[in-house]
Amino acid sequence: MDALRTVTPLAENRSSDFAQCLTDGLSHSPKQIPCKYFYDDEGSRLFDAICELPEYYQTRTETALLAAHAGEIAALMGRDAEIVEFGAGSLKKVRLLLNVVRPRGYTPIDISGDYLMAVTETLAAEYPNLALRPMVADFTAALAIPPLPGARARTGFFPGSTIGNFKPDAAAGMLRRMRASLNGGSLLIGVDLVKDPARLHAAYNDAAGVTAAFNRNLLARANRDLGADFNLDAFAHYAPYNPVARRIEMYLISQIRQSVTVCGRRFDFEAGEAVHTEDSHKYTPDSFAELAARAGYTLRTAWQDDEGLFMLAWLESA
Ligand code: AVI
C-alpha cells in the first residue's frame, strides 16, 4: 500500500518543473515530453476545442452515457454520498450527476488551483445545499481526504478516459492509490474502448488540425515560458494507432535536421526524428476489468453506447 499524504498544493506545472522535464526528455533517446505539460491555459483551451470536434466522439459519448444512466448511478451511490472527482477540470460532467444523485458533498481535486477555485465558486452558487471542498492536489498521488461530516459512502469519479494516458502498470498503481484515497469506496470511471483503427485514427488526426495544434503547443509553451526557440512549422503532428499495443501514440516529428536551444542548452534533431508526447491506451471491457483487478477493484456494472465506442464502468472494492 502506498503511504497516504496530506493534500498540499503541488508545483508540478511550474515553469521550473517543465524546464527540468523538458531538458531531461530531450536528452533521452528516443526524445520525449511528458503529456501532463499539454495543459497550460492555451493547451486547456485547445483540449476543450478537441472535445467539440466531430471526430472526437469520446466526450459527447461519455456525456450521453452519464445523462442516460444517472438514475442507476444514483442508486449505486446511495443516500448521503460524497463524490470525489479526480482531475476535476471544468466541473461540467459532474453536473449531470449532481442533478440526479443529490449527494451530501462534492470534493473536486485538481492541480490548477486558481481555475479550480473559480469554477467551484460558480458551482456553489448553483448548488447552495451541497458541501463543497475543492482540493488543490495532484490526483495521481495517494491523498488523505478528511471525512465529510454527514456523508455515508465515498465514491470516486474519474471521467474522460484519462486513465488511458497512463501506461498499464502506472494506471493500475494510480487506481490502487485512488482506492486508498476513497477508503475503499467505489469508482465511476470513463474508458475509451478498442475499436476500428480508422475511427481512432480520425479522432487524433482531425481535419481542422486542432489536435496537431494541441500537440505543437508543447513546443509553443517552451518558447513562451522558457524562451526556447522551437520553429513550430518544422515539427509535424503524427498520431498513429498501434493495434498490437492498443494505443494511439502521439509524436512531433522533426521535418528537417535542426538545432533548438532550451534553457541555454542545445538539442540536435535529425530530419525525421520523433519526440514522443503522449500515449492513449484503449481497453476492451475484459482487459479493463483485468486492470481494475490489479488495483483491488471488481468491475460490477458498465454502460456502453450502441456503437461500443466508450464505456462508463462502476468499480467496487474486491
Ligand atoms: C485527456 N485524454 C483522455 C485525451 C485522450 O484522448 O487521450 C488527450 C488527447 N490527446 C489528443 N487528443 C486528446
> Any residues with CB less than 8 A from the CB of 15 and at least 6 apart, and which?
225, 226
pLDDT-based confidence at residue 204 (cuts at 50, 70, 90):
very high
Q: Decide: 215 in ligand 1 pocket, CB within 6 A.
A: no
What percent of the chain is modeled with pLDDT above 70? Answer: 96
Predicted pLDDT at 89: 87
Q: Decide: 160 in ligand 1 pocket, CB within 6 A.
A: yes
Residue type, 128: P
Predicted pLDDT at 236: 98
What is the average pLDDT value for the chain, to the nearest integer? 94
- The total number of residues shown for the chain amounts to 318
pLDDT-based confidence at residue 14 (cuts at 50, 70, 90):
low
**Which of 57, 58, 73 is CA-nearest to residue 303?**
73
pTM for the full model? Answer: 0.94
Q: Which of 33, 38, 45, 50 to mutate to test the pocket of ligand 1 (most atoms within 8 A of CB)?
A: 50
> Any residues with CB less than 8 A from the CB of 262 and at least 6 apart, and which?
19, 22, 23, 26, 222, 226, 228
CA of 193 to the centre of ligand 1 (A): 13
Q: Decide: 187 in ligand 1 pocket, CB within 6 A.
A: no
